[in-house]
């Protein structure tokens, strides 16, 4: 959207009782009051206007939501830069226009719409309502819509797009974000998140048709249109059947006495994780009663994000102790992420980092493939993927075992709890990951091993990969930009740092600009992503550290990993070296005191 609102004339009889004294802002207010049929959000703008809150009006109306991690994410509320009925309608109109251009069979193949359980009373905004409006825009244009009749895990939408051969799909969710947020996640016909240039072209199309069309507000079309189908039973049944393809020890699962506790963090995961355990032959995991059912307020956790570790698992761990369950699995509110904790012999709990789980998943999936592949199977046809900020342990395993390892630039599969096991769902999936980790734990118990003990074996075989990940909060975008621009002009213009304190930097890769000093032509082989900030430093001591912004939250994240050879087995020394380097990274590159950054709370 252009400066202050949207392009185009406003044909409306709406009269602004008070002028702001700014013609462009007056136009934006006029547009909002003309187009918005949600009484709650309309009243929010009217109240700001009547109370002379012109700065807040400008903040809300004079910029537009931009596509971040495969879609839109923001707080719910009134304004063109918030998630609300009107901005979802506008976004869907733009997607309709783009898909109509891309697919001649759009109106035969259809579109998938799913949603989680988020909501905000003050804006009369909920994921289900936003999903109904998304469907309404398309149904009014005679597009068949596969609209789930109830909330589903995020991975069900990309899975449905593939299974139903739809042209695209949208999931209304803000995943693990705070309760005030919601989002609009877009998947292409291949079941993967949209990438460039689709995102940029969709934005252009949104800007060309911002005024709601006739029928776009008719959310009742979901209940009355013959073009609407409910794919829930078919997709759920097919998904659970496909899960069995990565179940390798069903007989052990049926017989095990190992108990599991599962929490869904007040989100969508409970029913679906129960079904996944059943598909693998397990007894159902023990649910955390206070967190089993959907609750848009996430009333028992400060933040429904597995990344926060033991602090958000408190209820799960206490229940596990009571029930004598040795393993806890936690899915985030839209069930695309997984956290895992295991009770140690001393009674304490080990909460695995995402990178540690990646090592376990990598070992497990390759071992199962080796045991079950045909005699003529070629290991060179095996691939594993990790993102730029994930552990390099899969690379180490691949080098030793002979399969392929590739790096992806997709930020959402972060070094924290995001995993994709198998190829049925081409996105991160906490439901399948939860039941795979349960089977892994069951198998290892039969070998008198815990998950933690197996992790040590993996590191001793392929080399220790010690990582630490955290973040700073920064609510001032110019400060974030200044921090990263300083790194690009460190000692001189267009010159990246050669040292970080006492640590020598061998290579620098900047995904934002496309620079990579390790390449002969100095150009990154990974796709450029100008919409976010991301710089990776490779150090002479074997450490790799990445600084990047979040696509969905006001955070500057850092990811640091010490990659050691198998013969470097003194973990304490490696951890101390990594910690010193992180301290140097924060002091020299982020300068939190100078830049007013807020440290992550414990």
DSSP-assigned letter for residue 485: H
175 is catalytic: yes
Q: Among 123, 126, 175, 418, which one carries the catalytic annotation? A: 175
Alpha helices in 447-565 (DSSP H): 451-462, 477-488
The pairing of strands 499-500 and 503-510 is antiparallel
Q: Which of 568, 519, 510 minimizes the C-alpha distance to 543?
A: 568
Pairing state between β 168-172 and 404-408: unpaired
Q: Which segments within 451-584 are labelled E, that is strand?
A: 465-473, 499-500, 503-510, 515-516, 534-539, 543-549, 555-563
CB count in 10 Å sphere of residue 423? 10
- Distance, CA of 364 to CA of 470 (rounded, Å): 27
Cβ-proximal residues to 393 (8 Å cutoff; 6+ apart), any chain:
355, 358, 359, 362, 458, 459, 462, 463, 465
Nearest Cα residue to 111 out of 190, 165, 172: 165
- Cα–Cα distance, 276 to 269 (Å, whole number): 10
Give counts: helices (H), strands (E), the chain. 20, 23
Helix spans in 62-139 (H): 85-102, 106-109, 127-139
Angle subtended at Cα 38 by Cα 34 and Cα 44, rounded to the nearest 5 degrees: 80
Long-range residue pairs from 447-454, CB within 8 A, at least 24 positions apart, any chain = 450/326, 450/342, 450/344, 451/327, 451/340, 451/342, 451/352, 451/360, 452/342, 452/344, 452/350, 452/352, 454/360, 454/363
**Of 186, 159, 187, nearest to 88 (Cα)?**
186
Asked if residue 247 lies in contact with residue 281, where contact means CB atoms within 8 angstroms, the answer is yes
**Structural contact between residues 298 and 304, judged by C-beta atoms closer than 8 angstroms:** yes
Q: Largest alpha-carbon pair distance within the chain?
A: 79
Q: Rounded to an integer, what distance in angstroms lies between the CA atom of residue 569 and that of residue 250?
A: 35
- Looking at the DSSP bridge assignments, the partners of residue 145 are 111, 228
d(CA 275, CA 453): 29
Give catalytic residues, as residue numbers: 175
């Amino acid at each position: 959207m252009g400066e202050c609102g949207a392009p185009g004339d406003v044909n409306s009889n709406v009269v602004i009782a008070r002028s702001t004294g700014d013609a462009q802002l007056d136009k934006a207010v006029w547009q909002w009051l003309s187009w918005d049929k949600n009484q709650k959000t309309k009243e929010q703008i009217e109240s700001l206007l009547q109370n002379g809150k012109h700065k807040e009006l400008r903040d809300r109306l004079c910029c537009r939501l931009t596509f971040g991690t495969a879609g839109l994410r923001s707080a719910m509320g009134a304004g063109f830069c918030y998630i609300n009925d009107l901005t979802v309608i506008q976004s869907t109109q733009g997607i309709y226009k783009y898909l109509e251009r891309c697919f001649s069979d759009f109106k035969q193949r259809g579109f998938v719409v799913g949603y989680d359980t988020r909501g905000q009373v003050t804006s009369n905004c909920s994921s289900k309502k936003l999903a109904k409006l998304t469907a309404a825009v398309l149904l009014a244009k005679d597009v068949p819509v596969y609209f789930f009749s109830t909330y589903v895990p995020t991975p069900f939408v990309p899975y449905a797009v593939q299974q139903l051969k739809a042209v695209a799909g949208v999931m209304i969710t803000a995943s693990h974000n705070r309760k005030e947020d919601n989002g609009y996640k877009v998947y292409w016909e291949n079941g993967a998140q949209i990438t460039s240039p689709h995102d940029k072209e969709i934005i252009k199309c949104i800007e060309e048709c911002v005024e709601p069309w006739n029928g776009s507000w008719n959310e009742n079309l979901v209940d009355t249109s013959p073009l609407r189908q409910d794919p829930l039973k078919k997709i759920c049944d097919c998904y659970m059947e496909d899960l069995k393809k990565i179940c390798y020890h069903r007989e052990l699962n049926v017989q095990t006495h190992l108990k599991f506790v599962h929490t869904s963090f007040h989100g969508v995961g409970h029913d679906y994780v129960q079904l996944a355990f059943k598909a693998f032959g397990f007894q159902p995991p023990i649910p955390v009663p206070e967190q089993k059912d959907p609750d848009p307020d996430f009333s028992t956790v400060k933040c429904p994000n597995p990344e926060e570790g033991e602090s958000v698992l408190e209820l799960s761990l206490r229940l596990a102790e009571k029930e004598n369950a040795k393993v806890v699995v936690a899915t985030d509110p839209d069930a695309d992420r997984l956290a895992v904790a295991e009770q140690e012999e001393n009674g304490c709990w080990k909460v695995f980092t995402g990178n540690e789980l990646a090592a376990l998943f990598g070992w497990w999936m390759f071992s199962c493939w080796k045991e079950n592949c045909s005699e003529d199977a070629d290991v060179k046809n095996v691939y594993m993927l990790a993102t730029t900020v994930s552990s390099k342990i899969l690379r180490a395993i691949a080098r030793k075992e002979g399969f392929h390892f590739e790096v992806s630039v997709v930020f959402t599969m972060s070094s924290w709890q995001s995993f994709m096991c198998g190829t049925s769902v081409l996105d991160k999936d906490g439901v399948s990951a939860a039941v795979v980790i349960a089977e892994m734990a069951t198998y290892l118990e039969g070998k008198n091993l815990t998950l933690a003990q197996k992790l040590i074996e993996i590191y001793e075989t392929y080399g220790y990969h010690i990582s630490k990940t955290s973040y700073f909060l920064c609510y001032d975008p110019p400060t974030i930009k200044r921090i990263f621009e300083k790194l690009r002009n460190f000692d001189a213009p267009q010159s990246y740092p050669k040292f970080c304190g006492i640590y020598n930097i061998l290579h620098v890769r900047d995904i934002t600009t496309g620079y990579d000093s390790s390449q002969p032509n100095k150009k990154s082989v990974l796709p450029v992503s100008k919409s976010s900030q991301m710089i990776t430093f490779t150090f002479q001591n074997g450490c790799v550290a990445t600084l990047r912004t979040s696509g969905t939250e006001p955070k500057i994240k850092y990811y640091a990993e010490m990659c050691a050879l198998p013969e470097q087995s003194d973990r304490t020394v490696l951890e101390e070296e990594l910690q010193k380097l992180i301290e140097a990274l924060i002091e020299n590159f982020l300068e939190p005191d100078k830049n007013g950054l807020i440290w992550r709370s414990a």
